[in-house]
Structure 1
């Protein structure tokens, strides 16, 4: 982090209202440290080489965004996002911060669903052998699409 932003004006209600702006199709500029290609080179490679990169906005889709936790003293928030492919959550956090006339960044990110695969249907490594002993593997695998 190399910036300090004002936060005293931010409230739970302001965050909830601001999040509504991000539902639906939105224009989003990917983070410069991303795999987006710029003239055939990956943006992150150009940035690591010290070059400035200007990425163009792209249309992404946010189906749902929900504030699941808010700490007014620390000015931290947890949100749950359901979005279309190609949405950069780091950029979403950045844009939410800007919409709040402040700044924002991720301290954690947990993907809970990818396509038809959801975390609640997964088996942990700790329980995998036990699960495998109970049923044939081929009866339980889903083909990827």
Structure 2
């Protein structure tokens, strides 16, 4: 997807599909609100949330193209992630404090690769309690952050591709291609449990949604500079 570089090339009311590299610690709605304010169009929405501690491809649709959001959301996603094995956190990422440190000296690179088939294909996955799923009309993360017990039902997801791309114990880098609704944090939690050592996700970057690729995305400040050009 070729990036537009001049303000006159855009038609925000008529409809645009905009690719962004979401900044670290920004919520998806932070990006939506920033872009909505800059392009001065009310109808702006995102096609698939990224957690604040994740970076990478976030797709926004404006104007009449917001009708395409549901179709873009349904596309498969690709991620590059990093887990730390031998430790866990309540949120399964760096939102909460590290706990339960375990010895991992017995775990080998071969052990990691041997587990990959168990997590490839259609699997049952329990979403993390620290997620935006609604329970009794409220977001699960609201109750989880208050220390309340949250029970979420397992759901079927599909991990179509899964590979280990680098190992520097306790850090393990991986690439995943998965269906809509897959929680990478849940995969990391379950992978760590299968190793008998626990794990949490220390980094996550979304690199693709369907045919849309991160390499074609705007940096937020780059886009704002284009919009503000005279």
Unmatched runs of 5 consecutive residues or more in structure 2: 1-97
Shift in alpha-carbon separation, 1:44–1:125, aligned structure 2, 3 A? closer
Checking the alignment, whether the CA contact within 8 Å between 1:65 and 1:81 is kept in structure 2 is yes
Matched, 1:44 2:152: no
Structure 2 residue corresponding to 1:31, chosen from 109, 117, 128? 128
Matched, 1:109 2:204: yes
Partner of 1:138: none
Matched, 1:120 2:218: no
Structure 2 residue corresponding to 1:69, chosen from 166, 170, 175? 166
Cα shift at 1:127 = 6.2
Which stretch shifts more, 21-30 or 41-50? 41-50
CA RMSD of aligned residues (A): 2.1
Distance 2:170 2:99 in 1: 18
**Number of aligned pairs?**
130
Partner of 2:175: 80
Which stretch shifts more, 111-120 or 95-104? 111-120
Which stretch shifts more, 40-49 or 123-132? 123-132
TM normalised by structure 1 equals 0.80
Distance 1:110 1:95 in 2: 19
Distance 1:15 1:66 in 2: 10
Distance 1:123 1:53 in 2: 37
TM normalised by structure 2 equals 0.52
Shift in alpha-carbon separation, 1:59–1:127, aligned structure 2, 3 A? same
Render the CA deviation track for 1:101-137: whole Å, top value 9, x for unaligned: 11111111000012331112334457669999xxxxx
Unmatched runs of 5 consecutive residues or more in structure 1: 133-145
Distance 1:130 1:49 in 2: 40
Deviating 4+ runs (over 6 angstroms)? 129-132
